[in-house]
Amino acid sequence: MKRRIAIVGCGGMGGGHAIAIGSGTGNAVWGASSSNDLDPNVELHTKGDTDISKKLELAGVYDINPERISWAESMGYKCYESFEAILEDEKVDIVLVATPNDSHKDLSIRAMRAGKHVLCEKPVMMNSEELKEVMEVSKETGKVFYPRQNREWDRDFRIVKKVYDENLIGICTRIESRVHGSRGIPGDWRGQKKYGGGMMMDWGVHLLDRMLVLVQEKVTSVYCKLTHVISKEVDDGFTIYLTFESGLTAVVEVGTCNFIPLPLWYVTGDQGTVKIDDWMCHGKMVRLSSWEDKDAKPILAGAGLTKTMAPRDGNSLQEMELPDVEFDNNELYSNLVDVVNGTAEQIVTQEHALRVLRLMEAAMESSETGKVIEFER
C-alpha cells in the first residue's frame, strides 16, 4: 500500500527529504530554486534503487520560517498552516520530524498519539531517557517510530562493510572513521546547546551508528576528547577511542578546523590495509602476498637507519582498486513503508538508536571526566 508522508521542519534536512520524496527519486538535488530547475533528463536513480514514487507520496510540509514555506511553495509542495493541521489530516500516514533536536520528543509523541507513524531525523532524541519515553508511546499506540540513520547507505561505508564482512584484508585490527571539514560549526541552531547542537550530536551520531553496525560486538570501553577550537558553547569536534570485546580498536573523529583532511577511512588488518580518501571514494586496497620479505634493507629515517619500517617492494604486496558494491539507496524509505504496512521488520531499530545514544553519552562523560568509561562489560 502506498503511503503519504508530511514533513515538519523544512530546513536543510527537511527540505532535502521534500525534494527526495517529492521528485520520487529518493535523491535530494540542492541548488534547485523550483521544480523547474530539476533537469528531467538527469538520471537520479542508481541501478537497483527502489522506485519510491510507487511506495511513498509527499503530502506536504510545515515550517515556522516563512522563507522556507516560500521555498516549498515555489517547489509546488502543499504547505500546512500548522503542525496541528498535519495531525488533523486523515490522509497523512507518516510524519517526518526534521526540526532542531530539542523538539523531536514532543513532536514525535504528539504525532503517534494522533495516530501517525513517525520517521525521525538523527539524533532521534536529546538523550537516551527521552528515547525510552518515545519507545513506550510507540508501544502503547502501536505506531511505528523509525530512527533515520541514513549514512548506513553511504557508499564509503558499504565498501568498508564489504571489506570487514568478507575479510578482504584478513582480520581487521583497527578501524579509523573520520569526517574533517574546515568551515567551523554551522552558524544556525547547531551552534547552540539548548537546541542539541554540537558535532557529537550532528556527526557523532552518524559515525558511531555505522561503527556499531559494522562491528557486531560489545563495546567494552570508551575514551573521548571533545574540542572547542572556535565554539565555546558546543563541541566543534571530537576524537573517540573504542575498544571492542575481541580487542579490535576503533577511532571515530570529527573536526571542523581541518584544512588538510585525513582519509574518511583507514582500516588495517593482518593481511592488508584499506584507505578511502573522500566522499567520491577515491582510495585503494593493499593486500599482503607473503609475510616473507627476505630482501628488506635498512633505510635512512631521519637521523638513523631502520629496517623494521623499511617499505615493502611490489613482490610481497598486491595493490588493487576498492571493491565494488551494489545497494539500494532508497532502502530506508522503502523499509519504512513496508514496516508501516506490516510486511517487514525495521532495519534501523529503536533499540539500536538507543544503544547509539548511550554510547554518545558515555563519550561525553569520558570527555567531561577525563576517564576511560567502561561500557558493555
In a domain, 124, yes or no: yes
Instruction: Answer yes or no: do 102 and 210 share one domain.
Output: no
Q: Is the predicted pLDDT of residue 40 greater than 50, yes or no?
A: no
Summarize the confidence of residues 26-32 as an average pLDDT: 59
- The pLDDT-based confidence of 294 (bands split at 50, 70, 90) is low
Rounded average pLDDT over 268-272: 97
Range of the domain at 160: 152-327+358-369
Q: Is the domain of 30 the same as that of 164?
A: no
Q: What is the CATH number of the domain that holds 165?
A: 3.30.360.10
Give which of 32, 43, 109 is closest to 77, Cα–Cα.
32
Spatial separation of the C-alpha atoms in residues 366 and 326, rounded to whole Å: 38
Confidence of residue 122 (pLDDT cuts 50, 70, 90): very high
Within a domain: 353: no
Task: Output the domain CATH number for residue 16.
Answer: 3.40.50.720
Question: Once rounded to an integer, what is the mean pLDDT over residues 26-52?
Answer: 56
Same-domain check for residues 11 and 53: yes
Confidence check: pLDDT of 166 > 50:
yes
Judged by average pLDDT, the poorest of 292-301, 304-313, 330-339 is 292-301
Strand (E) or helix (H) holding 334: helix 331-340
The answer on pLDDT for 46 being more than 90 is: no
Q: Which of 3-12, 40-49, 340-349, 364-373 has the lowest mean pLDDT?
A: 40-49
pLDDT digits (tens, 9 = 90+) for 203-216: 999 999 999 999 99
Same domain for 263 and 339:
no
Judge whether 101 lies within some domain: yes
State how many domains the chain has.
2
Residue with cell 531499530: 349
Residue 33: per-residue pLDDT: 41
The answer as to whether 41 is a domain residue is yes
pLDDT of residue 187: 81
Most confident of 17-26, 34-43, 181-190, 331-340: 331-340
Note the pLDDT of residue 190.
86
- Name the residue among 157, 159, 197, 196 with its Cα closest to residue 177: 157
- The whole-number average pLDDT for the span 56-84 is 96
pLDDT one-digit tens code per residue, 299-321: 888 888 888 888 887 778 899 99
Q: Is the same domain home to 93 and 25?
A: yes
Kindly state whether residue 377 falls inside one of the protein's structural domains: no
The mean pLDDT value for 225-246 works out to 96
Same domain, 181 and 290: yes
User: Are 179 and 303 part of one and the same domain?
Assistant: yes
84 and 7 together in one domain: yes
Residue 350 lies in a domain: no
The confidence score (pLDDT) of residue 24 equals 83
- The answer to whether 116 and 93 have CB atoms below 8 angstroms apart is yes
The per-residue pLDDT of the chain, averaged, comes to 92
Which residue, chain included where needed, has cell 583507514? Answer: 266
Residue 6, pLDDT score: 98
pLDDT grade, residue 376 (50/70/90)? very high
Mean pLDDT on 331-339: 96
> Locate cell 545497494: which residue?
327
For residues 129 and 122, give the distance between their C-alpha atoms in angstroms, rounded to a whole number: 15
Percentage of residues of the chain with pLDDT beyond 70: 94
Residue of 212, 215, 220, 216 lying closest to 377 (CA atoms): 220
- Give yes or no: residues 127 and 243 share one domain: no
pLDDT tens digits, residue range 74-116? 999 999 999 999 999 999 999 999 999 999 999 999 999 999 9
Specify whether 145 is located in the same domain as 159: no
Q: Is residue 352 a part of any domain in this protein?
A: no
Helix axes of 66-74 and 12-22: crossing angle, nearest 10 degrees: 20
Looking at the fold, whether 317 and 334 belong to one and the same domain comes out as no
The answer to whether residue 376 is domain-embedded is no
- The model's pTM is 0.93
C-alpha cell at 152: 548506513
**In a shared domain, residues 158 and 306:** yes
Name the band, by pLDDT with cuts 50, 70 and 90, for residue 186: confident
Query: Is pLDDT of 18 > 60?
Result: yes
* Model confidence band, residue 240 (pLDDT cutoffs 50, 70, 90): very high
What percent of the chain is modeled with pLDDT above 90?
80
